[in-house]
Amino acid sequence: MTRSGFYIVPTDRWYIERTVWLIAGLVLLVSTLLAVTLNPLFIFGVIVTGLVSVTEAFTGFCPIGTLLKRLGFTGALEQPQSGSLYFLQTDSWYLERRIYITVGVNITLGAILFLLHSSWWALFPAFVGMAMVWFASTGFCILANILYWIGAEPRLRPPTLIRRERPRAI
């Protein structure tokens, strides 16, 4: 099943998932910059971010989401009755959950290739970091749209547009 159009997540408030995307994007950008300019071991910030993303996709648990929940943020994709910890819904592989696994695996691989092969691989986590900051700011994500176009079902629904009909002339 293919779709047309664009998928844009709601940006009317800062819910936990959107804020996590912003924080993760900034961590990727800062860790990559520090790894390239000061010490390659700073790339482990990217690896940790990737592993947390993969873990969240499989288990639903997010340590940053838990901290944000304790600071008063609410989750848009949070499991009901998850107590004081934040858990992402894990009942199906919906679009947003697929983003966590795809991003986590890819940035971890990019960081490992940076350490073992070439410093040019730093461009990949830097690009993903910029894309995540862009996603959190505007609601538009290249990966989310690719997944949407190939049929992944989103859980975050943007506010529906109300189409007003013009009065007909009599």
pLDDT tops 90 at residue 89:
yes
**How does residue 161 score in pLDDT terms, banded at 50, 70 and 90?**
very low
* Residue 107, phi-psi category: left (phi > 0), alpha (psi -120 to 50), beta (remainder): alpha
Beta bridge partners of 78: 88
* Residue 5, phi-psi category: left (phi > 0), alpha (psi -120 to 50), beta (remainder): left
Q: Please write the tens of the pLDDT for every residue from 23-45.
A: 999 999 999 999 999 999 999 99
pLDDT tops 70 at residue 168:
no
Domain borders along the chain are 16-149
The pTM (predicted TM-score) of the whole model is 0.87
Average pLDDT taken over every residue of the chain: 90
